[in-house]
Amino acid sequence: MVVLDNLKSKGFVNSELVLKVVDRDKMIAFIHLVDRTIAEYQSVAELATTLKEVETELLNNRDRLKLLEENNDDLSLKVDNLKKILSKKMKKYLN
């Protein structure tokens, strides 16, 4: 990183370095950018998890709906058969 190469030694203490204000501001801006990127990534990760849960729920609901449709078809057939039987009995009774 260019900013780190531009550090200058401060006086007699070699372990302390001086950073220009402009370079410091650039580093702070970069750190904030990294923080925002991490927060956005976490939001995307949470969204991906939520979407997986929704997908699983939809698949479960699809299976449940298919079963209910089959049950409804079976019941409709039974009702039709009962109507036919009732109609025959009514004709017999009325004659």
Express each pLDDT in 38-84 by its tens digit: 999 999 999 999 999 999 999 999 999 999 999 999 999 999 999 99
Per the structure, the complete domain to which residue 13 belongs is given by 2-94
Q: How confident is the model at residue 7 (pLDDT cuts 50, 70, 90)?
A: low
Q: What pLDDT was estimated at residue 10?
A: 56
What's the number of domains the chain is made of? Answer: 1
CA 64-66-70 angle, to 5 degrees, is 115
Mean pLDDT of 18-45: 92
pTM over cut 0.75: no
Residue-averaged pLDDT of the chain: 87
Q: Which backbone phi and psi does 6 adopt, to 5 degrees?
A: -90, 5
